[in-house]
Amino acid sequence: MKKTGSQILLECLRLEGVETVFGYPGGTVINIYDDLMDSPINHILNRHEQAAVHAADAYARVTGKVGVAFATSGPGATNTVTGLATAYMDSIPMVVITGQVPTPLIGNDAFQEADMIGITRPITKHNYLVRDVKDLARIIKQAFYIARSGRPGPVLVDLPKDVQMSSTTFEYPETVELRGYKPTVSANPRQLDKAVKLILAARKPVVYVGGGATLSDMSDELMEFVETIQAPVTTTLMGMASFPNTHPLSMGMLGMHGTFYANMAVTDSDLLIALGARFDDRVTGKIATFAPDAKIIHVDVDPTSIKKNVRVDVPLVGMLQDVLPRLTAGLQKHGDELREVIAATAGWRQQIVTWREEHPISYKQTKNTIKPQYVIEKLRELTDDDAIIATEVGQHQMWTAQFFDFIQPRTFVTSGGLGTMGYGLPAALGAQAAFPKRQVIDISGDGSFQMNSQELATLVQYRLPVKIVILNNNFLGMVRQWQQLFFDRRYSQTCMELPVDFVKLAEAYGATGLRATRPDEVEQVIRQGLETPGPVIMEFKVAREENVLPMVPAGAGLNEMVLAS
């Protein structure tokens, strides 16, 4: 049976198990949107293409499926760039379909033409320009395979209008064969043996967990591994929620705004076991002083990530689903020796307890001014354990990482690698679309929120009951903090001089707006906000010059933290 290109696209998505797509229509995708009326696929109309891609990104993060977004050609397509770069940096599986001018017009500067293949090549795992409708089904099959296999990532498919309108016999491939693309799944057994020996010899081990543990759904296996060797655990921002913050062996996050005890433990360790992490600069600080006396075991599916930033003693290239159970099993074969190791490392675990007691993550709440950390703590106290928390980027993001104890996997959704302001609201939207009955909250700053605040309209239209917590200090807070600490309080262009009335903004969109200006109002506002049906903005007027601490200054080592401002 013959189908048009747009019909083929939608049927391919259905066969890939896609239930929801996010997007914004336009002239070059009008055929797709017309055929969408006859498709079982649910579509959510965002108010900006960047937001559509962020929503698809978060949908993928919370479900483990491939997120999908549509955009038209030209400015619609270029508006997807920030979302693609965000997903690429955080290894999120996603397929973005953009319309393109008809193939005879490509390269002629036609109306709303943009070279999306050239533009997105550095920020996608792969991209395609479909020139023949006969290739479309194969390309969509490949796109989904590439997006979800190996180290996940976004794939762009640029689809010219004439290809959408052309017809061909539809056949969906059952398998994918791509020459030159063969992700390594299983780690070398000799390297695994070396890793086991290093772990058994260690006296100051640290397990360092990155986003790969979340993306591979390895929380249970990670717990078994950690409890087998009784080693303290620190996570990156992307690895948070893969290991419960409340576990006795958890040290929280490491790096620039990590805990004192996590950073000191890494610095003094004799073995660092990195699981699905990439040693980025916000984690390592000054490379020369990062874990200087430690042997390093690095497990990652992407061989290009290993030895890229730090030296590695035992590289283990493979999927965590393969490596972690085999590593645990290999250790469990050495029962007596393992028990001796656990006994020998008791002093190391006690040292970390001492560091935690000496320098806990803390703040001083005052009588008349709301501290942002207090809002985060109260919010955690009043939310479900499986609540999904999205954030924008800035101080509020770091306070969330420090003070919101995550205990369930895939419940923390944030932009890590790219640090994208404006991510949180559309991300919360995407998460709520995936799980309509779960509690979904966007924690935001007043600056970040305004970058995609138009998505309030989408929440209201689709009755998505996202709760939005705005920590409003009338500053671009993180930049202001750097200006305070390193630029003599010269607050150049970081003061939001005309503060927004977020309560009125919520009401203008048909949502509910609430506000707290005193500490004694915080709990009441959170309770009311969580209990109110539909989208709600909860605005908290917080201390204007509160800083995120500890902080490792740029270029400093992890043991050179600023503990007070």
- The pair of three-digit structure tokens given for residue 50, joined into one six-digit string: 């960047």
State the Cα–Cα distance between residues 313 and 356, nearest whole angstrom.
29
DSSP state at residue 495: B
Strand order across the beta sheet in which 126-129 lies: 42-45, 20-23, 67-71, 94-100, 154-160, 126-129
Distance (Å) of CA 508 to CA 177, 295, 503? 52, 57, 9
Whether 364 is a known active-site residue: answer no
- The pair of three-digit structure tokens given for residue 125, joined into one six-digit string: 């795992």
Burial of 381 (0-12, 13-18, 19+ CB in 10 A): exposed
Question: Which residue among 116, 253, 256, 478 is the active-site one?
Answer: 478
State the Cα–Cα distance between residues 180 and 543, nearest whole angstrom.
54
Helix axes 81-89, 49-63, angle to 10 degrees: 30
Question: Which residue among 19, 112, 134, 560 is the active-site one?
Answer: 112
Question: Which residue among 2, 111, 197, 227 is the active-site one?
Answer: 111
449 and 428 in contact (C-beta within 8 Å)?
no
Question: Which residue among 65, 125, 161, 204 is the active-site one?
Answer: 161
Q: How many residues does the chain have?
A: 565
Whose tokens are 């006969």? That residue is 134
Question: Which residue among 7, 11, 22, 49 is the active-site one?
Answer: 49
Phi, psi of 208, deg, nearest 5: -115, 110
Whether 170 is a known active-site residue: answer no
363 and 219 in contact (C-beta within 8 Å)?
no
**Nearest-CA neighbor of 252 among 322, 91, 244?**
244
Burial of 321 (0-12, 13-18, 19+ CB in 10 A): middle
The separation between CA 419 and the C-alpha centre of its own chain, rounded to angstroms, equals 10
Whether 540 is a known active-site residue: answer no
**What ranges make up the beta strands (E) of 24-92?**
42-45, 67-71
State the Cα–Cα distance between residues 471 and 535, nearest whole angstrom.
17
State the Cα–Cα distance between residues 364 and 373, nearest whole angstrom.
9
Q: Which residues pair with 22 in a beta bridge?
A: 44, 69
Whether 134 is a known active-site residue: answer no
Q: Amino acid identity of 39?
A: S
251 and 234 in contact (C-beta within 8 Å)?
yes
Whether 478 is a known active-site residue: answer yes
Please give the positions annotated as active site: 49, 111-112, 161, 478
